[in-house]
Amino acid sequence: DVKVTQSSRYLVKRTGEKVFLECVQDMDHENMFWYRQDPGLGLRLIYFSYDVKMKEKGDIPEGYSVSREKKERFSLILESASTNQTSMYLCASSVYTPGTGELFFGEGSRLTVL
Amino acid sequence: GDSVTQMEGPVTLSEEAFLTINCTYTATGYPSLFWYVQYPGEGLQLLLKATKADDKGSNKGFEATYRKETTSFHLEKGSVQVSDSAVYFCALIIPNTGNQFYFGTGTSLTVIP
């Protein structure tokens, strides 16, 4: 079975803290994505990566950065967490099949910033 | 720009009722269309997809037909079960223009016995 694993299901952090969200996939997928999910807003793309050390901004990159040092791992970093970053964060991966590739999601990381 | 609009929820149905969740899209190219489902406490998973006009995607009793003339991809099921309670997302991707999916805002479905 394909698997995308997010390291933390629930996190509580304080304003100004640095936050790392880790995601690992075991499918040898080229593409990896970070989304945030908020009620009424659906999924919004933060960053994606189509290769090691490559990254592209999504729709809402402000306040976030990413790191992809190895093909299987894609990390989302909040340099200085703020309360408006309280959300559910979803990692996903896909093969490089332009336009038709299925996304495989992790179970999500629910972050609360106090 | 490219986007997906789906009916707002929440939707509450009795078991064995007929389900329709509407989805329409705007796309600059010729998209592939998807329905994803998110069960409580889980990530999203692919429910069905269609990659060209008039294709019908189907899985677990759910169906959706790619209608280019109405730019729609409505999700249907003839008889829902309690286990179908979840959030359903319509999505599209434009082939050969990158790997970005565009998701609708999601429709929450609750099926009561």
Work out the pLDDT band at B76, boundaries 50, 70, 90: very high
Per-residue model confidence as pLDDT tens digits over A24-69: 999 999 899 999 999 888 899 999 998 898 899 998 999 999 999 9
Query: Do B84 and B16 meet the contact criterion of CB atoms below 8 Å apart?
Result: no
Residue of B nearest to A108 (CA): B43
**Which residues of chain B have a CB within 8 Å of the CB of A41?**
105
Q: What is the pLDDT of residue B108?
A: 95
List alpha helices for chain A, DSSP H.
Answer: none
- Name the residue among B52, B55, B5, B50 with its Cα closest to residue B25: B5
Query: Do B10 and B108 meet the contact criterion of CB atoms below 8 Å apart?
Result: yes
Residue B57, classed as helix, strand or coil, is strand
Say yes or no to pLDDT of B95 above 90.
no
Per-residue model confidence as pLDDT tens digits over B44-59: 999 999 989 999 999 9
- Name the residue among A88, A71, A3, A89 with its Cα closest to residue A32: A71
Query: Do A3 and A102 meet the contact criterion of CB atoms below 8 Å apart?
Result: no
Per-residue model confidence as pLDDT tens digits over A74-84: 999 999 999 99
Q: How far is B14 from chain A (nearest CA, A)?
A: 24
| Subunit contact A99:B46, Cβ cutoff 8 A | no
DSSP B72: B
**Which residues of chain B have a CB within 8 Å of the CB of A43?**
44, 89, 103, 106
Work out the pLDDT band at A2, boundaries 50, 70, 90: low
**Chain A residues within 8 Å of chain B (Cβ atoms):** 4, 31, 33, 40-43, 45, 48, 50, 58, 90, 92, 94, 96, 98-108
